[in-house]
Structure 1
Amino acid sequence: MAQIPAGSDRSRQLTSKKRGDAWEAAARRWLEDKGLRFIAANVRERGGEIDLIMREGKTTVFVEVRYRRSSQFGGAAASVTHSKQRRLLQAARLWLARHNGSFDTVDCRFDVVAFTGNSDVEWFRDAFNDHS
């Protein structure tokens, strides 16, 4: 049986994954405290992954969660590039299609929940859309 190499890169990846999961869980709790209802987490579709899918009233909310230790190179929200936005839009489009919907038939928006260092959470509602 082949063994998986136990290099330092592998343990670092696991740590990064656990850290990302913790920030996503914190964002989920924070959004639930604001009245949003949880639908799904870590939804993988061809071309991208959606961190959280929530519902606010009749609106489906696709949430990107970002964390940065410092704002030296811009805050966490600044890391949601146009390329990342396109991947999120594509993933959401596919998720909606699998649930018999589309951007034309489902009220939805894209939010960013950003954590930078030890500062308070920043919530960017309707941060971008399919017309951006």
Structure 2
Amino acid sequence: MFWQLKLHNNKGISAENRALKYLRARGMKLIHRNYACKAGEIDLVMLDKETLVFIEVRFRTQSQYGSAADSITSSKQNKIRKTADHFLAYHRNHQHRLCRFDALLLKNSPTHHDASQEKLIEWLQGIF
């Protein structure tokens, strides 16, 4: 059974859009967005050449409650792993691929030019 994830958080949607644009500009191909099952949810599933990448997008306007990277706890990592297992079980055409878990950390963005926004994105590859 597939779950339908409903996004009501405009900041979250905007952050995922920024992340997707950033990754596509680096040659990655979108396979699925907001993949959800009972175990959890994965923001972006993409191909980096032949590697299947499960990507967690984190957005922070302030760091007083910890950084975006700090918010990817071991519990969150376990949920992402279980969700990735579910994805692979239902998408057999990707089971042969090497897999990687990445995070895109976004800081509050200025409303002007893309060059400024790139400095506010940190891409952590193979984080767990």
CA distance in structure 1 between the partners assigned to 2:69 and 2:121 by the alignment: 10
Letter in 1 for 2:105: A
Question: Structure 1, unaligned stretches of length 5 or more?
Answer: 1-12
Q: Does 1:120 align with 2:112?
A: no
Q: Please identify runs of 4+ aligned residues in structure 1 that moved more than 6 A.
A: none
CA distance in structure 2 between the partners assigned to 1:127 and 1:89 by the alignment: 12
Question: Structure 2, unaligned stretches of length 5 or more?
Answer: 1-6, 110-118
Letter in 2 for 1:55: L
1:75/1:116 contact within 8 Å kept: no
SS state at 2:64 partner = coil
User: Which residue of 54, 57, 63 corresponds with 1:71?
Assistant: 63
Matched with 2:22 is 30
CA deviation string 1:8-36 (max 9, x = no partner): xxxxx94xx12111100110000011111
Matched with 2:10 is 18
Q: How many aligned positions are there? A: 112
TM-score, length-scaled by structure 2? 0.81
- RMSD between superposed Cα atoms in Å: 1.6
Share of identical aligned residues, percent? 37
Greater C-alpha radius of gyration: 1
User: Which residue of 97, 111, 116 corresponds with 2:102?
Assistant: 111
TM-score, length-scaled by structure 1? 0.79
